[in-house]
Amino acid sequence: MQVFKFGGASVKDADSVKNIVTVLQKTGVKNKLIVLSAMGKTTNALEEVVDAYFNDETKLSETIEASRKYHIDIITTLFPKGHAIFKTVHTLFKNLEDFLAINKSPNYDFVYDQVICYGELTSTQIVSAFLAESNIKNQWIDARELIKTDTSYRDAKVDWDVTQKNIQQAIQKEGLFITQGFVASEENNFTTTLGREGSDYTGAIFAYCLNADNLTIWKDVPGVLNGDPRVFKNTKLLQRISYNEAIEMAFYGASVIHPKTLQPLQRKEIPLYVKSFITPESPGTFIGKGIQLDPMVACFIVKKNQILISLSSIDFSFIMEENISDIFNLLHIYKMKVTMMQNSAISFSVCIENKFNTLEPLLKKLRATYKVRWNEGVTLLTARHASANEIHMLLHGRKVLLKQENRTVTQFVLKEA
């Protein structure tokens, strides 16, 4: 079994959907599971629906309509008039509207997941129908029936035992299966999601549970590069990367792979390929056991929109184990992701990601005990295997707020210009 994951960019319009057929024709259609994201920027569009529902009901129908129209336009290009897919897509959007009409839950994260899943549900129905239309037999699968999680909406934790049993039971015969990335469900069968950009992780969950030969993530770049080509000049394609190296790169912001993706793969030593859906015959990047990095070049990773909080004691007392443990407890409660930290006798600095919009209450709590300074919109720059000269060039003209270094890695928190 092989698992293929296609992201939003690879299904963003009618031509991209046709290209998936091309990729499958070139790589074979037997014994494969395809994990799909929502089309293009659909997830962002559905986030606007959730926002309108909670904050501005007058915009609700307009935001839903925009997303429906985007999908209808694509299927109008792909399918003949009167094809069953039109009804399927209309029904999905009707179900979304019905949910919002009857929902009583004030829980933003819960509602978010019940709404946001329609992106993936719709994209997989469209691609499955289009493959069938192109004479490629396939079976559509609702990932929510297989991947079970806890009730941490928007950031759900997988129940591996149940999930593995479900997946192995559902996917036995040789064939082509199409399913959604990112979505799962909790014990009462309400939808949960695995975190933004979580479809890569879904690919890894299926690969792990099926003992797949490999997982391929298809992208609009040739593979994993040693820096984001939108930020850095003269980037190089990395041909081989070890799991360890890749986990570190993904954690600090190399957005080509979702950070959670590598753990399940590494546990069963399932190779991960990152390849271009534009040139599917090119080798791309291989991530697996062995060679740390080939070619051995410096890698630069940028993570924007971080917050740097600096705490110091009000009365000049030391910041000790006890305080640090309290601080981390608060960071955990407010679901802040820590990306870097540093402490001295009377101060503590931590770089965090405010994924759940909880900065205000966190600062309020911290102010009760510490003098608090903070910078929003800072950038975390991670340089791996870089020479002093490369780092010097990189920092040219930028203001460093915090620096940390070991033998392989140098990290900077930079103030954005």
- For residue 49, the cross-strand partners are none
Per partner kind, with CB cut-offs from 5 to 8 A, the member of Mg ion, ligand ASP, none near residue 182 is ligand ASP
Beta strands in 198-298 (DSSP E): 214-219, 240-242, 272-276, 285-288, 293-294
Query: Contact with ligand ASP (CB under 6 A): which of 7, 40, 259, 264?
Result: 7
Per partner kind, with CB cut-offs from 5 to 8 A, the member of Mg ion, ligand ASP, none near residue 410 is none
> Considering the complex, what minimum distance in angstroms separates the CB of residue 230 from Mg ion?
17
> Binding segment for ligand ASP among 35-43, 95-103, 166-174, 277-285 (CB under 6 A)?
35-43
**Contact status: 227 vs ligand ASP (CB under 6 A):** no
What is the helix, strand, coil percentage profile of the chain, to 5? 40, 25, 35
Which C-beta is closer to Mg ion: that of 43 or that of 138? Answer: 43
Residues of this chain, 40-59, that bind Mg ion according to CB under 5 A = 43
Closest-by-Cβ residue to Mg ion is 8
Distance CA 258, CA 251 (A): 8
Which C-beta is closer to ligand ASP: that of 251 or that of 374? Answer: 251
**Contact status: 264 vs ligand ASP (CB under 6 A):** no
Nearest CA to 211 out of 36, 31, 37 is that of 31
> Considering the complex, what minimum distance in angstroms separates the CB of residue 403 from ligand ASP?
32
Give the CA angle between residues 149, 153, 156 to the nearest 5°. 35
Closest-by-Cβ residue to ligand ASP is 199
Query: What single string gives the DSSP state of each residue in 157-204?
Result: PB-HHHHHHHHHHH--SSSEEEEESSEEE-TT--EEE--TTTHHHHHH
Query: Contact with ligand ASP (CB under 6 A): which of 186, 197, 245, 248?
Result: 197
> Binding segment for ligand ASP among 36-44, 87-95, 97-105, 132-140 (CB under 6 A)?
36-44
Which C-beta is closer to ligand ASP: that of 185 or that of 410? Answer: 185
Which C-beta is closer to ligand ASP: that of 126 or that of 311? Answer: 126
Distance CA 39, CA 12 (A): 5
> Binding segment for Mg ion among 6-14, 183-191, 213-221, 227-235 (CB under 5 A)?
6-14
Q: Answer yes or no: are the C-beta atoms of 191 and 184 closer than 8 Å.
A: yes
CB atoms within 10 A of CB 360: 10
> Considering the complex, what minimum distance in angstroms separates the CB of residue 91 from Mg ion?
22
What is the token pair recorded at 72? 């209808």
**Contact status: 284 vs ligand ASP (CB under 6 A):** no
Nearest CA to 103 out of 95, 111, 93 is that of 111
What is the token pair recorded at 169? 């039971």
Per partner kind, with CB cut-offs from 5 to 8 A, the member of ligand ASP, Mg ion, none near residue 203 is none
**Contact status: 8 vs Mg ion (CB under 5 A):** yes
**Contact status: 38 vs ligand ASP (CB under 6 A):** yes
Q: In whole angstroms, how far apart are CA 138 and each of 87, 173, 342?
A: 19, 12, 52
Per partner kind, with CB cut-offs from 5 to 8 A, the member of Mg ion, ligand ASP, none near residue 181 is ligand ASP
Q: Answer yes or no: are the C-beta atoms of 258 and 203 closer than 8 Å.
A: no
> Binding segment for ligand ASP among 72-80, 197-205, 263-271, 322-330 (CB under 6 A)?
197-205
Q: Report residue 120 CA to chain centroid gap.
A: 13
**Contact status: 203 vs ligand ASP (CB under 6 A):** no
Residue with tokens 């941490």: 152
Distance CA 348, CA 327 (A): 9
Phi then psi for residue 234, to 5 deg, are: 50, 45
What is the token pair recorded at 409? 């890695």
Query: Contact with ligand ASP (CB under 6 A): which of 40, 198, 253, 264?
Result: 198
Query: Contact with ligand ASP (CB under 6 A): which of 8, 40, 223, 227?
Result: 8
Query: Contact with Mg ion (CB under 5 A): which of 2, 10, 16, 37?
Result: 37
**Contact status: 181 vs ligand ASP (CB under 6 A):** yes
> Considering the complex, what minimum distance in angstroms separates the CB of residue 215 from ligand ASP?
14
Nearest CA to 354 out of 306, 301, 309 is that of 306
CB atoms within 10 A of CB 178: 25
Interface residues with Mg ion (CB under 5 A)? 8, 37, 43
Interface residues with ligand ASP (CB under 6 A)? 7-8, 37-38, 43, 119, 181-182, 196-199
